[in-house]
Chains A and B, each alone.
Chain A
Amino acid sequence: MNIRHHFDDATLMAYASGSLPKGMALLVACHLHWCPECRERVRQAEAVGGALLEQIEPQAMPDNALQQLMARLDDDMAAEVSSLVSPALLPEGVPAPLHHYIRGSLDDLPWKRLGYGVHHVDLNLGGKGTTRLLKIAPGVSVPHHTHTGNELTLILRGSYSDEIGRFSAGDVADLDGEVHHQPIVDTDQDCICLIATDSPLKFTGLMGRLVQPFIGM
């Protein structure tokens, strides 16, 4: 996998500090499964957390806390079973953290039509914003839109191009409200991506106003 587009440092710091909304954290974890470079950067961002833990003003635990915990050290531990599937068993284009939620191939998902060659599956993760898979047909372009908050996109299969560049499998687009873009699928293959936002998208222009009620992103 030849990854050319990575996360913004600020996004990886939010991930490392545990402050990303769930869907966005899932998306970051998916990219990390494919990207050693971003894994290293996350490790650095976590080391910031370690350094801050060293610097924090300690607050004493209750007097008997250590004793109580010592009594539990010999308890049987609940088996630590990793929920990760071995990479060889993962369907094509599905990183392990996503597999936990969809449990199958991208082709077998209950895709719902949004119109204009666009299908989607909402992961219904709850919380602020949305997390969904989007399947866009070749040549189709998503209406011009801007973002009121943050939007992360991870390409799982296929590719698209927009004002920023060309994005293919493994690449991420890490955008905020300052970006105004119109992606278009640029090969003869569907482009499937995972998109997580922390607030609704805002479409602009006539096309946007027409499609907004359908897409509702």
Chain B
Amino acid sequence: MQEDEPTGGDVNAVIQIAEEKKKQQRDSWSARLTSLAETRDKAEFAAIYGYFAPRVKSYIVRLGMPLATAEEVAQEAMLSVWRKAHLFNSTKASASTWIFTLARNLCIDRMRREKAVEYELPEEEPDPDQRDMAEHSVLEERMQVAIASLPESQAQVLHLSYYEGKSHSEIADQLGIPLGSVKSRLRLAFSKLKAHWGEEE
């Protein structure tokens, strides 16, 4: 954070510095996760755990799981990180996105009491214009900024959907708005976020 910057300073430059820092951090988690697959270095794993386990736990608690279960599932998610590190592909996702999907799938398994087979996807042919790892982090960095700038009504449905795992109908009931409005808010939010994804450097 840059709260100590003098007011009237170049705000864009300040934001850039902050983003640059976060980007380096993110790049480094993806790089560290990639190297974990080769080195099987437990100290490295402990560092990844230190950063991600409390976030994963927080995510699972918000999904509505009791604390003890959330901690148990967070442990399972982090164990999956260790065991499946060789499957992490930094050209397809950042470390945080990959870990999010692991945690999400474990939560689905837990709630449905069976394996979420439907989430497995086939390996794909290499895509000719596949983005490189650095670019992926840039994209996610932009997405962070974009999420922060969403109007409250859109951010709210995004949070209810992702953090609380609520279905569109449940969100509609909770907010007292029509189902169609929930969807259109999500669509609007996604199109804004996608615009950041698709932009050229």
Contacts and interface: CB of A to CB of B under 8 A. Distances in A.
Contact of B54 (A21, A60, A96): A60
Contact of A47 (B120, B140, B191): B140
Contact of A44 (B54, B117, B193): B193
Given A10-B182, A47-B94, A53-B55, A62 B112 contact: no
Contacts, number: 199
A177 B42 CA distance: 52
Contacts of B182: 10
A19 interface: yes
Interface residues of A, number: 65
Given A17-B161, A51-B147, A70 B42 contact: yes
A198 B93 contact: no
B23 to A, nearest CB: 11
Interface in A31-79: 32-33, 36, 39, 41, 43-62, 65-66, 68-70, 72-73, 77
Contact of A43 (B55, B92, B122, B162): B92
Contacts of A61: 53-54, 57, 71, 74-75
Given A57-B58, A66-B46, A83-B120, A47 B101 contact: no
B96 A54 contact: yes
Interface of A: 8-10, 13-14, 16-22, 25-26, 28-30, 32-33, 36, 39, 41, 43-62, 65-66, 68-70, 72-73, 77, 80, 82-84, 87, 96-97, 100, 149-150, 176-178, 198-199
Interface of B: 26, 42, 45-46, 49-50, 52-59, 61-62, 71, 74-75, 78-79, 82-84, 92-94, 96-101, 103-105, 107-108, 112, 115-122, 124, 139-140, 143-144, 147-148, 158-159, 161-163, 165-169, 179-180, 182-184, 186-187, 190-191, 193-194, 197
Given A17-B162, A26-B118, 15 more contacts: A17-B104, A19-B166, A19-B168, A29-B118, A29-B121, A43-B93, A47-B197, A49-B100, A50-B140, A54-B140, A66-B49, A66-B50, A69-B49, A82-B120, A97-B117
